[in-house]
């Protein structure tokens, strides 16, 4: 999750200072979510000035979503949007739905949301759209995206395939491997697992022992690794589909004395994941582009509010990070931040 040619975000090069979002000037995308929207378009500014967009991430406090929030806030300035952040304390559908219902009651002009479940959030998001909010899905998506003006996300199937290729290289294309999937029903988790499972079949000497579900809980991930190592002491590799799963996997490997012996590839590139990479707990990170996703979402809502066309689906590619390329400028700008 062959790379297409990318275009720079106009807002980063024209209107956002380097201090607004670290690395924003290097954020890239294959296509923008809107067509014909620019920061100097006075008609757009007139149609968006003072209007409120709510951002509802999958979970509060996560470096991926914090990086996205920084980009959303910076991009919103050129349109005069007010940004309001509301989100659940855990990646949990039962917590996100009440948050969303509260947001809908405030009649926002726009809603940027990462739904925690591809089906359970359809009803509440449909209600938001019916109430007049222009809805942009980010990161995760819905099985039926009809309530949204756009869906902007990482190509998670491609990212899962990249993880499979990286893990195969690390273990010499032979041995047993497992997957730590963080949330069944969440489009991101399902697609990252799917991409890995499809790609790993190409390696005939690799034995895939199957997935374990962590429910985004590091303790569960650690237990899953411990149990799998007990059943398969010759386990060669782990693919963790998000940061929390990787955190728990690292604990499980430490407890078993298997750090470095069992190779790990993990999705996301927050500060903790980079530290794990530097310490040798994980050998490869699959980074997303949260800044690009956030900026595209704001642009799409601005376009929809001013009668401009909006691209229904936008995907961004992943960046593979290792200790060997960590210091490269393009890789540094891909790392997630905990503050703007």
> Within a 10 A sphere around the Cβ of 139, how many other Cβ atoms?
26
User: What is the DSSP annotation of 226-269?
Assistant: HHHHHH-TTEEEEEESSHHHHHHHHHHHHHHT-BTTBEEEEE--
Structure confidence at residue 194 (pLDDT): 97
| Res 258: pLDDT | 96
Which has the higher per-residue pLDDT, 19 or 152? Answer: 152
Report d(CA 220, CA 231) in Å as an integer. 16
pLDDT of 42 reads 40
φ/ψ bin of 335: left (φ > 0), alpha (ψ from -120 to 50), beta (otherwise): beta
pLDDT in tens, 242-290: 999 999 999 999 999 999 999 999 999 999 999 999 999 999 999 999 9
**Backbone phi and psi for residue 217, each to the nearest 5 degrees, phi listed first:** -115, 115
Residues of 56-84 as b/e, b for ≥16 C-beta within 10 angstroms?
A: bbbbbebbbbbbbbbbbbbbbebbebebe
Average pLDDT, the chain: 88
- Give the CATH number of domain 7-153+289-316: 3.40.50.2300
pLDDT at 264: 98
| Whole-number pLDDT of residue 326 | 96
Is the model's pLDDT at 5 over the cut of 80?
no
Record the tokens describing residue 268, joined without a space.
Answer: 């996301």
Q: What is the mean pLDDT of residues 149-171?
A: 97
Tell me the domain boundaries of the chain.
Answer: 7-153+289-316, 156-287
State the average pLDDT over residues 183-206.
94
CATH number listed for the domain at residues 156-287: 3.40.50.2300
**Strands 284-287 and 263-267, sheet pairing:** parallel
Shared fold status for 7-153+289-316 and 156-287: yes
- CA terminus-to-terminus distance, the chain: 25
pTM for the complete prediction? 0.80
- State the helix-helix crossing angle for 156-170 and 187-200, rounded to 10 degrees: 40
pLDDT above 70 (res 12): no
Instruction: Using the predicted structure, report yes or no on whether residue 14 has a pLDDT greater than 80.
Output: no
pLDDT of residue 262: 98
Q: Which residue shows structure tokens 């303790």?
A: 219
Q: Are 13 and 75 in contact (CB under 8 A)?
A: no
Segment 17-51, tens digit of pLDDT: 333 333 333 333 344 565 444 343 444 556 899 99
For the chain, percent of residues with pLDDT exceeding 70 = 86
10 pLDDT higher than 80: no
- The total of other beta-carbon atoms located within 10 Å of residue 195's CB is 22
User: What's the average model confidence in pLDDT over 68-92?
Assistant: 97
Dihedral angle over CA of 307, 309, 312, 316, nearest 10: -120
- Kind plus residue range of the DSSP H or E element containing 316: strand 313-316
The whole-number pLDDT of residue 34 equals: 57
What the block records as the tokens of 47 is 């149609």
CA atoms within 13 A on the CB side of 264: 31
pLDDT at 4: 36
| Predicted confidence (pLDDT) per residue in 257-267, tens digit | 999 999 999 99
For range 185-197, the mean pLDDT = 93
Distance CA(136)–CA(224), nearest Å, equals 35
Is the predicted pLDDT of residue 314 greater than 50, yes or no?
A: yes
Tens digit of pLDDT for each residue in 97-111?
999 999 999 999 999
* Residue percentage of the chain with pLDDT more than 90: 82
């Amino acid at each position: 999750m062959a790379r297409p040619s990318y275009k720079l975000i106009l807002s980063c090069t024209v209107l956002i200072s380097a201090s607004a979002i670290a690395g924003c000037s290097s954020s890239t995308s294959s296509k923008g979510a809107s067509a014909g929207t620019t920061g100097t378009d006075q008609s757009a500014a007139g149609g968006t000035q003072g209007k409120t967009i709510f951002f509802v991430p999958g979970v509060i406090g996560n470096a991926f979503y914090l990086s996205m929030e920084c980009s959303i806030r910076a991009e919103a300035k050129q349109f005069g949007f007010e940004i309001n952040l509301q989100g659940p304390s855990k990646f949990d559908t039962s917590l996100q739905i009440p948050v969303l219902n509260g947001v809908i009651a405030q009649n926002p002009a726009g809603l940027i949301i990462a739904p925690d479940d591809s089906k359970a959030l359809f009803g509440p998001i449909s209600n938001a759209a019916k109430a007049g909010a222009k809805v942009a899905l980010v990161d995760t998506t819905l099985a039926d995206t009809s309530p949204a003006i756009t869906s902007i996300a990482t190509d998670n199937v491609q990212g899962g395939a990249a993880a499979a290729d990286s893990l195969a290289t690390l273990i010499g294309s032979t041995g047993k491997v497992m997957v730590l999937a963080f949330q069944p029903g969440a489009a991101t988790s399902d697609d990252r697992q799917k991409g890995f499972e499809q790609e790993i079949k190409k390696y005939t000497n690799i034995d895939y022992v199957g997935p374990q579900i962590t429910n985004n809980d590091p303790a569960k991930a650690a237990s899953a690794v411990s149990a799998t190592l007990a059943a398969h002491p010759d386990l060669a590799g782990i693919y963790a589909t998000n940061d929390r799963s990787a955190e728990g996997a690292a604990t499980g490997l430490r407890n078993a004395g298997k750090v470095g012996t069992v190779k790990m590839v993990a999705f996301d590139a927050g500060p903790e994941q980079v530290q794990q990479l530097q310490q040798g707990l994980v050998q490869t990170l699959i980074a997303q582009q949260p800044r690009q996703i956030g900026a595209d979402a704001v642009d799409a809502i601005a376009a929809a509010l001013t009668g401009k066309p909006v691209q229904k689906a936008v995907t961004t590619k992943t960046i593979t990070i290792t200790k060997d390329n960590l210091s490269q400028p393009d890789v540094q700008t891909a790392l997630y931040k905990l503050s703007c």
